[in-house]
Amino acid sequence: MKSSLLIRSAVLFFLLATAAPAAAQDGTIYPLDAPDEPNAIPLNTGGVDDQPASESWFRQWGDPMARNITTATLTPFLPDPDKANGTAVIVAPGGGFMWLSMGNEGWEVAEALAEQGIAAFVLKYRLHPTQESLDDFSAWMNRPRTPAPSDSSSTDAPPARRPQRDLSDQLEDAEAAYAMIVDRADEWGVDVNRIGMIGFSAGAGLTMHATLNSETMKLAFIGPIYGGMGPVDVPADAPPMFSAIASDDFLFGGQFGVIESWYNAKIPVEFHLYQNGGHGFGLGNPDRTSNQWFPAFTHWLDVNKFLTPATTGK
């Protein structure tokens, strides 16, 4: 318990110390010194091919973010033993597989899960390379985007699927995180039959990719939050899914494919489409209906008996 409190105190101190002033809470990218991560456990999954730059951090929208990650780690956020219920969740932040929103979609979510008695584990997975210079990276991020042309002659055609990235490194990291939790289940008070995964944006994509492709992860439930909505081929042993997205999120686009895929496979699914919230809202932005997704998620976990104390161990 003492080590868990130290983790929480260190994270809270870092978030407060690096929070941008009110005038800087915008999309501007600011340099940020790498935080001390004493509780981050290396997953020993190797490096990244053709990655000349070293890991670096920046701040955007007041949130600490990391890029050029070549060493995957897992950081535990363990609940108070009096609250612990044996459930565990791997938390995968997003960032287009080129950076990770470590505060908004990682540490803060893990803290909230730990308050519910869940052992949460933030996965800092390997990323695709970006420019070494922060100025060059900022210029690339702020480059003009040309909208994809619309084809008015095929209005009934389904939306084109986004290009698929090579996620072999990221899948290996997720599998290593799962294996570590299983191996240390007794130490961390985890029931190995109650390990789930939740991800945001690209992290939701990794959650889905692991669900559909891993041969070693046996997830008890998944929570892809504002991830891709296209249809997928659902394995017969796929876990129950909770999904949430805002209608004004560019990833939504009126698609319900992944929800229909789960429903048609007759696997439990809960879906929340919020009126507003945009993309990347984490635990929530002020005055947006999407702020209620986390209470809905924990209620879903409760109804499905994942918050009921269970016997821990293997």
Average pLDDT over residues 228-237: 97
Q: What is the mean pLDDT of residues 161-175?
A: 85
DSSP type of residue 105 = I
Residue 150 domain-assigned (yes or no): no
Averaged pLDDT, 262-285: 96
Confidence band (pLDDT; 50, 70, 90) for 7? low
Domain containing 53 equals 2-139+164-303
Note the pLDDT of residue 203.
Answer: 98
pLDDT at 18 over 50: no
Alpha-carbon gap, residue 185 to 127, rounded angstroms:
27
The reply to whether 50 falls in a domain is: yes
Q: Does a structural domain hold residue 168?
A: yes
Specify the CATH number for the domain of residue 295: 3.40.50.1820
Asked if the structure places residue 158 within a domain, the reply is: no
Query: ∠ CA 252-164-294 to the nearest 5 degrees?
Result: 40
Amino acid 142: pLDDT: 82
User: Looking at the domain assignment, is residue 91 inside a domain?
Assistant: yes
Residue pLDDT, tens place only, 81-110: 999 999 999 999 999 999 999 999 999 999
Strands in the chain per DSSP E:
30-32, 41-42, 56-60, 63-67, 73-77, 88-92, 99-101, 119-124, 195-200, 222-225, 241-246, 269-274
Predicted confidence at residue 2, as pLDDT, reads 45
Instruction: Name residues whose C-beta falls within 8 Å of residue 9's C-beta, 6 or more positions apart in sequence.
Output: none
Q: Cβ atoms within 10 A of the Cβ of 111, count? A: 18
Q: Is the pLDDT of residue 24 over 70?
A: no
Q: Nearest-CA neighbor of 106 among 125, 91, 127, 119?
A: 91
Instruction: Please check whether residue 309 is in contact with residue 85, taking contact to mean a CB–CB distance below 8 angstroms.
Output: yes
On whether residue 195 sits in a domain, the answer given is yes
Answer whether residue 264 is part of any domain: yes
Distance CA 275, CA 284 (A): 13
DSSP 191: B
Q: Considering its fold, how many domains does the chain have in total?
A: 1
Task: Please check whether residue 135 lies inside any domain of the structure.
Answer: yes
Using 50, 70 and 90 to split pLDDT, how confident is the model at 141? confident
pLDDT tier at 205 (50, 70, 90 boundaries)? Answer: very high
> Would you state the pLDDT for residue 175?
98
pTM passes above 0.85: yes
**What pLDDT does 27 receive?**
83
pLDDT of residue 25: 55
pLDDT band with cut points at 50, 70 and 90 for residue 50: confident
